[in-house]
Amino acid sequence: MKRNERIPETENILPLTEGKKIYFISDIHLGAPVLKHEREREQFLVQWLDSIRPDCGVLFLLGDIFDFWFEYKRSVPKGYVRFLAKLCDFTDHGIPVHFFTGNHDIWAFDYLPNECGVILHTHNEIFNICGKRFLIGHGDALNPHDRGYLFLYRIFHNHFLQRCFRWLHPDIGIWIAQKWSSHSRLGNGKIEADDFRGAEQEEIIRFCQTVIKKQSFDYFIFGHRHLPIDFTLSPSSRYINTGDWISYYSYAVFDGQTTSLEFVKKK
């Protein structure tokens, strides 16, 4: 099933220990060539993970955690060792980490599950948590009319083309990816994501409104937009966008009863 085709048919039951919380974060873009102070950003992320660890029951990483990620047969992009070690720390101590691929880290295959113990998702998933229904994903490729983006989406998800890219030496492949990223929505440490456009112009909101006509969800949790959003879809349904860790340092947290959008003060 592809992200842009339909919502999943199956529902995952996710237990939550009393007193624990579920955290959602996305769009960190570790390794983005146009961003400065990458080491400091990674260290700040690790510090935040340390701060939530005591009450974290489940951690959701909702895509574009890396600005580029491609798993060659015998190598992966260098760096991120502090962050990856912290993921291992979470999973080694029984804290589930759900990693959703985004449009920048599409090419995650088996390295992160095998080495870091994360649970990898390549499309939207339904979770039932404490009786609340969540539809969770990265948030891209949800507009069926955006043919240009969907064309690129199909190219990047094509298994044959993925195998062809793997034949490039990592120095060449990663250099190409960094050049591509330099012309993306990230530039000079800022993003193109504008202010809230209004419900009729927000693609993810339109998608959510279409979905709730067919079945009910308490929460839609997505990233991709780079803008923290908490939008009421109906009296019983909300859409929350986790924002990013470039400009906003925002995240969402579910305490077993309600979900809120929070911000970390960057020192």
Which tokens hold the place of 89? 């720390």
Within-domain flag for 7: no
pLDDT for the residue numbered 142: 82
Whether 114 maps to a domain, the answer reads yes
Which pLDDT belongs to residue 88? Answer: 98
Task: Identify the residue whose tokens are 């760096």.
Answer: 79
Alpha-carbon span 242 to 81, nearest angstrom: 24
Return the number of other C-beta atoms located less than 10 Å from residue 35's C-beta: 18
Distance CA 136, CA 222 (A): 6
Tell me whether residue 22 is in a domain: yes
The rounded distance, in Å, linking the Cα atoms of 27 and 238 is 20
Burial class (CB in 10 A: 0-12, 13-18, 19+), 247: middle
The packing angle between helices 38-52 and 81-92, to 10°, is 10
- pLDDT 10s digit of each residue in the chain, 267 long? 444 446 788 999 999 999 999 999 999 999 987 788 889 999 999 999 999 999 999 999 999 999 988 888 888 989 999 999 999 999 999 999 999 999 889 889 999 999 999 999 999 999 999 999 999 999 986 866 666 655 566 766 677 777 777 788 878 877 776 666 665 555 544 555 678 888 888 999 999 999 999 999 999 999 999 999 999 999 999 999 999 999 999 999 999 999 999 999 876
4 located within any domain? no
Domain span at residue 74 reads 16-263
In a domain, 9, yes or no: no
Give the position of tokens 């793997």: 166
Torsion 195-196-202-208 (CA) sign: positive
Per-residue model confidence (pLDDT) at position 191: 54
Q: Is residue 161 assigned to a domain?
A: yes
d(CA 202, CA 199): 5
The answer, as to whether pTM is greater than 0.85, is: yes
CATH number for the domain harbouring residue 129 = 3.60.21.10
Q: Is residue 2 part of a domain?
A: no
DSSP strand pairing (11-13 vs 125-129)? parallel
In a domain, 3, yes or no: no
pLDDT of residue 129: 97
Tokens representing 81 are: 């060792």
How far apart (Å, rounded) are the C-alpha atoms in residues 228 and 247? 10
- What is the structure's pLDDT at 133? 98
Task: Tell me how far apart the alpha carbons of residues 264 and 170 are, in angstroms, rounded to a whole number.
Answer: 35
How many structural domains comprise the chain? 1
Residue matched to tokens 């759900």:
98
